Copies of this chain bind each other. A is one copy, B any other.
Amino acid sequence: MQKGKLYLIPNTLGSDDLSRVIPPYIKEVINTIEHYIVENIQTAAKFLKLAGINKPLRELTFYVLNAKSKESDITTYLDETEGGKDTGLISEAGLPCIADPGSVIVKMAHQKGIQVVPLSGPSSIMLALMASGVSGQNFAFIGYLPIDKNARVKKIKGLGSKIKQEGQTQIFIEAPHRNDKLLADILSNSPGDIILSISKNLTMETEEIISGTIEQLRNKNIILGKEPVIFVLGK
């Protein structure tokens, strides 16, 4: 029997307006799938409804894969896929496997000889990098910076040196309630001539992108608030 495929399905970045960010093909794909591995059932269900799924959700099977999942929890998640049924992987927001734990199931799929099909959609990391005005030819996404103040300041100083010496753009995120603290630390501890770009509420009506040298941004009184933000630091 032929094995099913594992489709990597993009979610929105929080907006309900899918036409801005999701290609029409996704609707075709979700209407052929009954098994889903999802980071969060609620956000996945909302997405599937917005994307135009034509089956009642109660007829679908959802398996949860999130940061708390252990490898032993997920060993059976691809059994139906091995048996011939296509499966969809959906993240809480944006692209599955980017800044989320989805890659473990993709690794397992490759080990089992299941075809993996990545589908296009919104990536907050890429949108922030495109909009930053700094080089996208060599860049790193490093996730979260340390929470501890001293370790964080040390990390920020290290990023500044790395950018000046190696020219590699650095992209990172923060828990929204710590955005303004992180911003203050970046402005105080980075070389004045490198560029900081801050992308807030990407793809939403309230999208805002601020870019300038550290020196320029020190003079503006920027308040980010508790919104989703991507930080891009480069030259």
Interface residue ranges, A against B (CB under 8 Å): 8, 18-25, 95-100, 102-103, 106-110, 115-123, 125-143, 168, 195, 197, 199, 202-203, 207, 209, 211-212
Contact = CB atoms under 8 A, between A and B. Distances in A.
Contacts of A116: 131, 133, 209, 211
Most buried by B among A127, A133, A207: A133
12 contacts: A8-B130, A96-B130, A97-B132, A98-B136, A100-B136, A109-B133, A110-B197, A116-B211, A118-B199, A123-B126, A126-B126, A142-B168
Given A8-B130, A118-B130, A99 B19 contact: no
Contacts of A141: 138-140
Given A95-B126, A121-B120, A212-B110, A135 B103 contact: yes
A97 B129 contact: yes
A134 B133 CA distance: 29
A168 B133 CA distance: 24
4 residue pairs, one from A and one from B, having the closest CB atoms: A107-B133, A140-B140, A120-B122, A106-B133
B8 A131 contact: yes
A138 B131 contact: no
Contact of A95 (B100, B130, B211): B130
A195 to B, nearest CB: 8
B138 A143 contact: yes
A1 to B, nearest CB: 22
Given A98-B130, A107-B195, 15 more contacts: A8-B131, A20-B23, A95-B130, A99-B137, A102-B136, A103-B132, A103-B135, A107-B133, A115-B209, A118-B202, A120-B120, A120-B203, A123-B123, A139-B140, A139-B141
